[in-house]
Structures are given as C-alpha cells and as structure tokens.
Amino acid sequence: MLANHAKLMLFFKNAGEVVGRKKLQKMIYILKKCDIPFEEKYEFHFYGPYSEELTLRIEELCNLGFIEEQKESKSNYYQYRYTVTEAGEDFLGHSAVELPSCNEMIEKMKDKSSRFLELVSTMLYFDHLSKKEIEEKVQIVKKSSNYTETDIQAAWQFIKELK
C-alpha cells in the first residue's frame, strides 16, 4: 500500500531536511535518472523537468501528517521546508518498501543550489542527445537563465560524479 509514498518518505528520511519545492522536484528527477525507482511522471516545463504527480503526492504526505511543510515568506515569493514527522516515521516502520542506496547522491545534491540542479536536470532530460546537442539545447530552452560555459562544465562533472 502507498508504495510510491513510502519511497518518497525514505528519501525525506535520508535527506533529513529539504528546502525548496523546486529543489525537491529536481532532486527526485535526478535520482530517477540515476535509476532510483521513483515512479512520479515528469514533463518538461518552463523551469525544466517538473512532476505534477510529485507535487500532489507531497501534498498528500503533508495532509496525512507524515511530512511537515513550513512555509517561509521571501521577498517576492514563498519557500517551503520539509521534514519527516513522528507519524511519518511510524508509517515507514510499517512499510516494507526499500530504496537502493542513494544517501551519497542526496547529500551531494543538498549542497547545490536549485538553479544548478535545474541545469543538471535539464541536461539529463535531453540525455538521448549527444553532448554537443545537449549543450545547444540547454542554451535554447534555458535562454533566460544565462548559464555560462563554466556552469555547464560543472554540471557535466556533477553528473559524472553522480553516476
């Protein structure tokens, strides 16, 4: 029961705390591309790969009291902070669902900005293309983000380390 919810809970448990919905979206996508079996469906949106299913599932976990969502007001927008609750720990205690080891990957991603993870996830979205084509595509679809050559090289290095 609720196997996909349980996988997300394991992610949160391993991560300890996740700050930002955008960051959360990109982290799960990157893990998925690294063969961690999350089943949320992603599509390409204005800001890169995005999963509506993930958004709703997180909302469910919050409504069930398994995850606590803290809303923090920033200058022009809100930012959200997620942690596992005691009820969430109980739920995991009853669940037989497991995730392949990905703690190291999660830790690496937590250290990165959401902007950087947006770049990495966008590059992974086009991983059926050649390296040169990916770089060209990123400049087309993320024109307004102004990623530099240095950003892109750092993202390649990061992808190499993850995989």
Question: CB neighbours (10 Å) of residue 109?
Answer: 23
Q: Return the residues of window 28-47 that contact another protein according to CB under 8 A.
A: 39, 41, 43-47
User: Could you tell me the sign of the dihedral formed by the alpha carbons of 114, 115, 120, 122, in that order?
Assistant: positive
By CB under 8 A, residue 92 contacts another protein: no
Binder among 34, 83, 110, 141 for another protein (CB under 8 A): 141
Question: CB neighbours (10 Å) of residue 102?
Answer: 20
**Shortest Cβ distance from residue 137 to another protein (Å)?**
7
Closest to 7 (Cα-Cα) out of 30, 33, 36: 36
By CB under 8 A, residue 146 contacts another protein: no
Closest to 100 (Cα-Cα) out of 28, 11, 4, 20: 11
| Token pair listed for 66 | 């398994």
Binder among 13, 34, 68, 80 for another protein (CB under 8 A): 80
**Shortest Cβ distance from residue 22 to another protein (Å)?**
5
By CB under 8 A, residue 56 contacts another protein: yes
Residue 68 neighbours by CB under 8 Å, 6+ apart: 62, 82, 83, 84, 85
Instruction: Determine the interface stretch with another protein among 28-36, 87-95, 99-107, 150-158 (rule: CB under 8 A).
Output: 87-95
- In the complex, the residues that contact another protein under the rule CB under 8 A are 1-2, 4-5, 20-22, 25, 39, 41, 43-47, 50, 52-53, 55-57, 59-60, 63-66, 74, 76-80, 87, 90-91, 94, 114-115, 118, 126, 137, 140-141, 143-144
